Structure 1
């Protein structure tokens, strides 16, 4: 039975005790809900993979409470420290070489010499890490490949009875996962666009390489070509609807006569990011209920948070593995 906790201090402390005892707990961050376990405990980390049905070659992000703690585990380069001071706590994940020996479970890092690290920017996440006294490995709290959760109810729908507890932290205010920047190579490489726009990073980093990952060489979460996917097929950059399609709109909607959800009527990309996964979930579940055959998505500009939104939608529309 999965326990549902509130975001009160006593409940966060109870959840932290579950973490220290080797359990798994879902909790809200500013990006999406994460499924957390003690990153130093291999048995606990394996429970994350089992609950999600996640492939074990797909590494996890390890979450910390403060900057000094992060650099006890990974290399502290000048650039990494400058980015950390500017953007942490916040939705930026850095991939850096691990110190050796490293107490983090190799299962959490998929046996790679690097580690993906960040400091989340919510009270619940920070208190959970503080009270557990452990780095917490935490991917999104949903079945692998499916739509990420931005509320506790979304977690319940996907993982009820498969995990120990959920902390209801309220809705996530960023709504898409963290930006992942690989600093383990000479030139910074964007592995996943996310809550920090690339335009905010380049004044510090200079030129950033945009990675086109090959699935056999995954070095960070969110690089699978098919990911964040609803059950219904997704069609992108649509100027018109086909018969029996639901509409995911952005700005003034194209002509429609049926099921639709608007990410942002005003065309605001921050609002669209906040609403993305909830809208996809609504169209998918309601569409299946009434017999809709697919989801048509209006064009979204690939600037700022639009790059992250389009990345998630492209992966949602990608061919599915059998």
Structure 2
């Protein structure tokens, strides 16, 4: 095998779900957006990365995400093609808001696109054990689709994992619902996306990666919006989905706060101290949530220039690290073949 500088490197980025590739340095993003739980952990992502690469990323335990920064695996091979897995925060991250995560994802994609690195594809991981998908999960799903854009759907694989052994009838029923319903994966599948099962084995993970590597490269819609069209983050389709939903939540919270204040005034009149304290505490909680949403919208609409410069340096450092890891891996392969 000729391991010349023309060889491609497939970089699999786990962001909860994505894969990316470039012409000379493939890239792959894995982005898990859909989760039915209020909080999530990163064990799904880290386990996929570890199984695929044979490495040992930190696997989250409990309810909190363990990924607040980029973490990469060593270079490994899939059918002779060098591959790297990159684990990044997901949209359901415990420590980062949705806006912060979208800004980070956008920065990563614009930096790599500006460096002429294209994506091999995008993986969307969904646990087959999740029996419900709530409003926030639908928002993340829509953000993912708008981030990809229709043209990139041929490079998307919707991956179900956490299957029982043997498979249960209700899991197969949920898989069919995910595949056939337009509320879930039906529309993107009809537009060229694929769906696959991950059985928590190296062979299964490599099969999923292989399906993406065979589909050529793509540029997600958000990269073209930000780089080619010069749009601001809130003007992108993904940013518009997030901004619209945040404003809807703010309006609902504002209505709840008004009702709580009315109830609190009535409690004062009836001298119901216990009810009054309960309403006061609940009111402060709602106000804090409202202020958090206000902050997210301000961040989405704000000037990201300084943050963008810092993130670009982070992603450039990452790309240098990938190149160094590739050089080391290819050197080892040369020695083995000699």
TM over 0.5: no
Quick check: which one's helix share is greater? Answer: 2
The two structures have a TM-score, normalised by structure 2, of 0.24
Q: Which has the larger radius of gyration?
A: 2
The two structures have a TM-score, normalised by structure 1, of 0.25
| Higher RCO, 1 vs 2 (CA within 8 Å, ≥6 residues apart) | 1
